Amino acid sequence: MSEKSLGELSPRERQMVDALYRLGRATVREVIDAIDEPPSYSAVRATLRVLEEKGVVRHEQDGPRYVYLPVVQRETARRQALRRLVQTFFDGSAEQAAVTLLRMSDGELSDDDVDRLVGRIRQARNGGR
């Protein structure tokens, strides 16, 4: 599955994929229970089938039920989504995105948080991303 296909999901498709990331794996009924204002059972089942055709999710047979799970690992999806966000809203500047995130914390960062961030910055500088 390409990075592009994750970025081209409809809001409803994104909602279902997000539910699968939270749950890890889920039946249609579990997806319905995990999303706000869900459509009908058949609509969720059809959307999961479309997501499967797009290569975003896959299913496993569990007796008579299908259990759906994301194809792309959550960490990979996070990186892809963040890359798109940084490109779209910060002109590709990771620094500007980081500054915005730090400003959003409103001073809630502890000394330990700051120390960990400094360590991560040093690690990234040394190529140990």
What pLDDT is recorded for position 5?
Answer: 57
Q: Please, what CATH class does the domain formed by 3-70 belong to?
A: mainly alpha
Q: Which residues lie across from 26 on neighbouring strands?
A: 68
Regions of the chain with pLDDT less than 70: 1-7, 128-129
Q: Would you give the distance in Å from CA 125 to the centre of its chain?
A: 26
Cα gap 17→56, rounded to integer Å: 8
What pLDDT is recorded for position 128?
Answer: 63
What pLDDT is recorded for position 4?
Answer: 45
Cα gap 10→24, rounded to integer Å: 20
Q: Domain ranges in the chain?
A: 3-70, 90-125
Cα gap 106→48, rounded to integer Å: 39
What pLDDT is recorded for position 3?
Answer: 46
Question: At residue 25, what is the residue type?
Answer: R
Give the predicted TM-score (pTM) of the model: 0.68
Q: Please report the sign of the dihedral spanned by the C-alpha atoms of residue 54, residue 36, residue 102, residue 111.
A: negative
